[in-house]
Amino acid sequence: MNGQFNAIDYAQQLEAAGVPQAQAEVHAKMLALALVSCSASRADLAALGEKLNCRIDSVKQELTNHIDSVKQELTNHIDLVEQKLSNRIESVRMELSARIDSLEQEIRHLRKQLYWMFGIHTALIIAVLVKQFFP
């Protein structure tokens, strides 16, 4: 398609359809004027394209900044969770270590009791045997 309006051709077609010449010329002039005032020039389109490109670049930068911000927030949150987990693990490790130390202490105490009980038991058996064989 050519894209250009031919006012003379338009007026001739109106005349061929039965419109008086003066009316056909006025119609053609008015339509040409309307088309010119409503159409965009190449410069207008280029300016609009440049404006759109600037806006796209701006939105792209905003999105990049937002993504970076969210990434930083997530990194901070992950670091905080890691720190809490590390603190909790250390707390549990210390608690378990204290419980193990307590159990070791209790086992040492029970071992001493067993040694004493075994010694007393052995002494009683020896005393019974001595009494039995040496009255």
Tens digits of pLDDT across the chain (135 residues): 446 778 888 888 888 988 898 888 888 888 888 877 777 778 888 999 999 999 999 999 999 999 999 999 999 999 999 999 999 999 999 999 999 999 999 999 999 999 999 999 999 999 999 999 887
Question: How many domains, in total, are found in the chain?
Answer: 1
Residue 67 lies in a domain: yes
The span from the CA of 67 to the CA of 72, in Å, is 9
Q: Is residue 72 part of a domain?
A: yes
- 24 contacts 14 by C-beta, under 8 angstroms: yes
The pLDDT assigned to 15 comes to: 84
- pTM beyond 0.75, yes or no: no
**pLDDT computed for residue 44 by the predictor:** 83
pLDDT value of residue 1:
40
Q: How is the chain classified by DSSP, letter by letter?
A: ------HHHHHHHHHHTT--HHHHHHHHHHHHHHHHHHSPPHHHHHHHHHHHHHHHHHHHHHHHHHHHHHHHHHHHHHHHHHHHHHHHHHHHHHHHHHHHHHHHHHHHHHHHHHHHHHHHHHHHHHHHHHHHH--
Give residue 92's domain range: 40-133
Domain annotation covers residue 24: no
Whether residue 74 is contained in a domain is answered as yes
- What is the model's pLDDT at position 4? 76
In a domain, 13, yes or no: no
* Residue 28 maps to a domain: no
Q: How far apart are the first and last CA of the chain?
A: 140
pLDDT at 91: 96
17 is a domain residue = no
